[in-house]
Amino acid sequence: MQAEQEQVVQGNEVDEEEDEELDIQDVDQLQQHGINVAEIKKLQAAGICTIKGIMMTTRKRMCEIKGLSEAKVDKIKEGAAKLMKTGFITALEVCSRRKQVFKISTGSVEFDKLLGGGIESQAITEVFGEFRTGKTQLSHTLCATCQMPNANGFRGGKIIYIDTENTFRPDRLRPICDRFNMDQEAMLENVLYARAYTSDHQMELLDFVAAKFHEELGVFKLLIVDSIMALFRVDFSGRGELAERQQKLAQMLSRLQKIAEEYNVAVFISNQMTADPGAAMSFQADPKKPIGGHILAHASTTRIMLKKGRAETRIAKCLLELY
């Protein structure tokens, strides 16, 4: 197992193979189309490090980058369009590209069966539930299982963990390492942690995430945000700010989905629940629902509800799965 972990840390040959599979084009190639180095560095500082990243970014957002005028943005977009094939492709080509998708085990055989093999890459997996249902514990477990090769051909990789509630505890990772016979220090070294303090800070961290994924191509396999809505609940209050909150949430979720597709990583987010006052009118058995509304529901490829069972058991229910 230790040799496998060293392979994850070093992974030079693996990285080269991943680069070929992902067909990632660096923004430096824009120099061929008259874009100077200074402008390329401005793009990289904003977390736009690939040609695909440029195509995924709106002109409005690129114009907000200091030093980039509308004329420069149009020139960058034009150069990116020449380097990257855009337009329609056949379903057979889509099927071929989907071969890049991998699954990360949850550490539970039955849970993996429920998810069709585990947490899927190029997608957002959301887990929600009441307090003490195991959301953060599952996030910690994935930090270990993500570094372990599995029978589906997944070779393991590093993790970025964004903590919004100060619930991340490295000491909780140590017994998980012992469970899977992993070297504790090597495992902890492969988890990159950041504490988000505001919803704006949470969004800014995604630029760093994109830059880090590009810096170590093929090495990082999982991005965890625990939890996605905690800071939005604090920073926005009342119905008067609901529209603004949902708009910013939509932007964050769109950014997460683009990062997942651009770098072929799995995105795992946890979510909180709230009481539903209208549930009694519809005679629902459970008057609680996940927060974030339809925007979060539509953005998540897979939604998992965790409930408390008898004693220390937990019940997982898959609400949405797209294949």
- Report percent pLDDT > 70 for the chain: 88
Range scoring the smallest mean pLDDT among 22-26, 136-140, 292-296: 22-26
187-242: pLDDT as tens digits: 999 999 999 999 999 999 999 999 999 999 989 999 999 989 999 999 998 889 99
CA distance 197 to 200: 8
Lowest mean pLDDT of 44-48, 112-116, 142-146, 280-284, name the range.
280-284
Mean pLDDT of 47-51: 91
Q: What is the pLDDT of residue 127?
A: 94
- What is the predicted pLDDT for the residue at 285? 56
Helix 242-263 to helix 199-215 angle, to the nearest 10 degrees?
Answer: 10
pLDDT single digits (tens) 155-188: 889 999 999 999 999 999 999 999 999 999 999 9
Comparing 12-26, 27-41, 249-263, 305-319, which segment has the lowest mean pLDDT? 12-26
Are residues 105 and 118 in contact, defined by beta-carbon separation less than 8 angstroms?
Answer: yes
Domains delineated in the chain: 25-83 (1.10.150.20), 101-320 (3.40.50.300)
- Alpha carbon 302 to its chain centroid, in Å, reads 13
Distance CA 30, CA 81 (A): 10
Give me the DSSP letters along 67-120: T--HHHHHHHHHHHHHHS--S---HHHHHHHGGG--EE--S-HHHHHHTTSSEE
User: What does each C-alpha distance from 71 to 75, 121, 193, 276 come to in angstroms?
Assistant: 6, 36, 38, 49
pLDDT of residue 311: 81
Q: Cβ atoms within 10 A of the Cβ of 6, count?
A: 12
Please give the pLDDT value at position 13. Answer: 42
Residue 3 has pLDDT above 50, yes or no: no
pLDDT tens string 73-113: 999 999 999 888 778 889 999 898 888 899 999 999 999 99
Q: How far is CA 145 from CA 33, 232, 314, in A?
A: 43, 29, 19
Is the per-residue pLDDT at 31 higher than 50? yes
Say yes or no to pLDDT of 15 above 70. Answer: no
pLDDT of residue 283: 52
